[in-house]
Structure 1
Amino acid sequence: MSRSDRNDGNSRTVLSALGNKYSAEILCAAGTPKSAQTLSEDIEIPIATCYRRIEELVDAGLLTCEGRRLSEEGRRTNIYRRTLDEIEIDFGGETPCVSQKRRTEAKNRLQDQFQG
């Protein structure tokens, strides 16, 4: 069962991260674990831009580093996956309120089995 999180203190950080170009595309592409290089290639954006967006998304708690893997070139690279499946922004109050439907570890493991 997924839980929804409401964290008004984090709303500005989340909105700021989502407001940047390519952030939503990175989150969509990171449903399965991927390196920054793979995300950059999948979305067709410069690698430096991809790293900046990844850092912002990690800081906002929307993306997480799941560990490291060897790249095809033999380098250790970080692997990222989004931490949520849904996000809702409510502009009805004095300040925006962000609700997030977090991904569960069970869902990640099940998805990994079907992807692998």
Structure 2
Amino acid sequence: MSRSRTQHTDADSAAILAALGNKYSAEILCAAGTPKSAQALSEDIEIPIATCYRRIEELVDAGLLTCEGRQLSDEGRRTNIYRRTLDEIEIDFSDETPAFSRKRRTEAKNRLQDQLTD
């Protein structure tokens, strides 16, 4: 996995900080180490589905969560499947704008983890 330190625009920084600061966001990111639907995340974390969808949208907009595709639910509906895009994030507030150091998830790690959970 690569660790990169990046400067973001004020809008990017604000989106990341806002997304991370919301209740349940960290829990969703922890639970989304493997691909999961919003319904599965909601059930795993025991939060209302509407709240889960709002947090997912914020995390996707901030680039911390990604939609990996779609699958059929138990009810036969197509649902989006989400997975986090990183394993670690560090925020440095020592400059005028926050700097983020990220440990991104590699595709190899995703494939390995998928095989272990099948």
TM-score range, shorter chain: over 0.9
Task: Find runs of 4+ consecutive structure 1 residues off by over 6 angstroms.
Answer: none
Asked whether the 8 Å contact 1:2–1:101 carries over to 2, the reply is yes
1:40 maps to 42
2:101 maps to 99
Structure 2, unaligned stretches of length 5 or more? none
Aligned length: 116
TM score, norm. by length of structure 2: 0.93
1:7 maps to 7
Name the Cα RMSD after superposition. Answer: 1.1
Partners in 1 of 2:5 and 2:110 — Cα distance? Answer: 18
Structure 1, unaligned stretches of length 5 or more? none
1:111 maps to 113
Q: Deviations over 1:19-59 (max 9, x none)?
A: 11100000000000000000000000000000000000000
Asked whether the 8 Å contact 1:5–1:101 carries over to 2, the reply is no
Asked whether the 8 Å contact 1:31–1:81 carries over to 2, the reply is yes
Measure how far apart 1:15 and its partner are.
0.5
Identical pairs, percent? 82
1:59 maps to 61
Partners in 2 of 1:78 and 1:88 — Cα distance? Answer: 28
